[in-house]
């Protein structure tokens, strides 16, 4: 065991020698990536001379482009069954093989992409000297591995996996550097808005994690009436939701749905408070240093809730059963029911607004 002093999440195994190239697998959305950032920062500190290649998505590459980070480069994943399945993209065996060949040689592969059933064999195709990761009972073993249990905070799971490669944490919460280009891009889209600025994001990848649009509109309207600048943000595929919230809130609340990644970072950096669900923009807001107020379903708090409370306020819905069919939604062994009704609609408007007002008052 490594006897070096310092914090740890789980056992810290011995470092491997002569590690020059590290491949980190973490696909998924923006939030999925951010959960892996502290582990990649730890890898950078432990293996300072190694290249760290993130195997992720085009969105991940856009975020890290032109800004300091632990990552040397991002290689977007090819379409690959049960690992990366972008809509409308066929699987091509020749394309996949060319992608693997272009990445070799790899000394250390770090699997931060679930329980390893599909991701461990995927990484084995890189022929790494060493492989670490989590695994379910039916997954192929890595050289060093830990048991995958669904209810574990994603950041801490990634740090525990990194510890198998001899890595100690250097940060527990993700951090993203903000550049002058980000700030300039934000200046363009925020021109004319008063300060302090409040950013509202009503979306979430799973509709069950979305607080009702009408409630976001209510808090946006009240904050704007108090002289705050308010913008409602979302991805292009969230345009209808964003415009509905902004429309219900009324002028001068502004809808922003075509932000570049740089502009999004800049806008979040400028805001004095962020209000949203458990979503990628919420995690990015926290990573650039913005105070946040978040509406969470209780199960997602375990996996993805903020660790601190001075700047990150949490409103939790304790709904355990689907509001429509009553199925127990806390059990990972049961299939997901077909209903998309909100699990977080029980959170009151006055609670969210009260937390926002405290943050805006500097308390």
Q: In the prediction, which pLDDT does 259 show?
A: 96
Tell me the average pLDDT of the chain: 96
Strand order in the sheet with 73-76: 73-76, 51-56, 21-25, 108-111, 130-135, 144-147
What digits encode the pLDDT tens for the residues 313-343?
A: 999 999 999 999 999 999 888 889 999 999 9
What digits encode the pLDDT tens for the residues 338-352?
A: 999 999 999 999 999
Q: Please report the DSSP string for 1-57 in residue order.
A: -----S--SS---PPPSS--EEEEE--SSHHHHHHHHHHHHHHHHHSTTSEEEEEE-
For 21-165, give the CATH class. alpha beta
What digits encode the pLDDT tens for the residues 203-220?
A: 999 999 999 999 999 999
Percentage of the chain beyond pLDDT 90 is: 95
Q: Which CATH number fits domain 180-361: 3.30.365.10, 3.40.50.1820, 3.40.50.2000, 1.10.3190.10?
A: 3.40.50.2000
Distance set, CA 57 to CA 101, 126, 200 (Å): 18, 18, 25
What digits encode the pLDDT tens for the residues 132-142?
A: 999 999 999 99
Q: Is 359 helix (H, G, I), strand (E, B) or coil?
A: helix
> Rounded to an integer, what is the distance from CA 331 to the centroid of its chain?
23
User: Does residue 2 carry a pLDDT above 80?
Assistant: no
User: Does residue 306 carry a pLDDT above 90?
Assistant: yes
What digits encode the pLDDT tens for the residues 170-194?
A: 999 999 999 999 999 999 999 999 9
Kindly provide the residue ranges of all beta strands, DSSP E only, lying in 218-327, ordered along the sequence: 229-233, 254-256, 273-277, 292-297, 312-317
Contact between 345 and 352 (Cβ < 8 Å)? no
> Rounded to an integer, what is the distance from CA 114 to the centroid of its chain?
14
- CATH topology identical between 21-165 and 180-361: yes
Q: Where are the domains of the chain?
A: 21-165, 180-361
Q: In the prediction, which pLDDT does 3 show?
A: 45
What digits encode the pLDDT tens for the residues 26-56?
A: 999 999 999 999 999 999 999 999 999 999 9
What digits encode the pLDDT tens for the residues 87-108?
A: 999 999 999 999 999 999 999 9
* Alpha-carbon span 83 to 78, nearest angstrom: 9
Mean pLDDT of 242-267: 97
Mean pLDDT of 149-160: 97
User: Does residue 1 carry a pLDDT above 50?
Assistant: no
Contact between 315 and 276 (Cβ < 8 Å)? no
Q: Mark residue 324 as left, alpha or beta (left: phi above 0; alpha: psi -120 to 50; beta: remaining).
A: alpha
pTM over 0.85: yes
For 267-291, b where at least 16 C-beta lie within 10 A, e where not — what string?
bbbbbbbbbbbbbbbbbbbbbbebb
Q: In the prediction, which pLDDT does 4 show?
A: 63
User: Does residue 5 carry a pLDDT above 90?
Assistant: no
Q: Which helix (H) or strand (E) holds 198?
A: strand 197-201
């Amino acid at each position: 065991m490594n006897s070096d002093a310092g914090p740890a999440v789980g056992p810290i195994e011995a470092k491997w020698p002569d590690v020059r190239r590290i491949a980190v697998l973490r696909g998924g959305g923006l939030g999925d990536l951010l959960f892996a950032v502290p582990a990649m920062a730890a890898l950078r500190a432990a293996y300072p001379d190694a290249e760290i290649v993130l195997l992720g998505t085009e969105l991940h590459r856009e975020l890290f482009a032109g800004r300091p980070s632990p990552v040397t480069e991002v290689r977007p994943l090819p379409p690959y069954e049960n690992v990366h399945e972008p809509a409308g993209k066929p699987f091509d065996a020749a394309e996949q093989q060319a992608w693997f060949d272009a990445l070799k040689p790899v000394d250390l592969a770090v699997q931060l992409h679930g329980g390893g059933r599909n991701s461990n064999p995927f990484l084995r195709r890189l022929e790494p000297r060493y492989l670490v990761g989590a695994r379910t009972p039916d997954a192929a073993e890595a050289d060093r591995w830990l048991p995958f249990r669904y209810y574990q905070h994603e950041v801490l799971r990634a740090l525990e996996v990194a510890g198998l490669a001899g890595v100690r944490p250097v940060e527990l919460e993700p951090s993203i550097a903000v550049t002058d280009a980000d700030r300039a891009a934000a200046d363009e889209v925020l021109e004319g808005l008063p300060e302090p600025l409040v950013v509202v994001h009503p979306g979430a990848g799973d509709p069950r994690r979305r607080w009702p649009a009408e409630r976001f509109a209510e808090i946006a309207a009240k904050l704007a009436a108090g002289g705050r600048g308010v913008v409602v943000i979302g991805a292009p595929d969230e345009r209808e939701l964003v415009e509905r919230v902004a429309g219900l809130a009324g002028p001068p609340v502004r809808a922003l749905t075509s932000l570049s990644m740089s502009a999004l970072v800049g806008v979040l950096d400028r805001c004095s408070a962020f209000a949203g669900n458990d979503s990628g923009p919420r995690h990015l807001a926290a990573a650039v240093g913005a105070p946040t107020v978040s509406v969470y379903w209780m199960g997602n708090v375990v996996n993805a809730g903020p660790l601190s409370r001075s700047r990150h306020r949490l409103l939790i819905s304790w709904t355990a059963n689907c509001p429509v069919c009553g199925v127990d939604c806390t059990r990972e062994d049961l299939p997901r029911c077909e209903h998309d009704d909100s699990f977080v609609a029980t959170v009151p408007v006055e609670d969210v607004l009260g937390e926002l007002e405290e943050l805006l008052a500097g308390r």
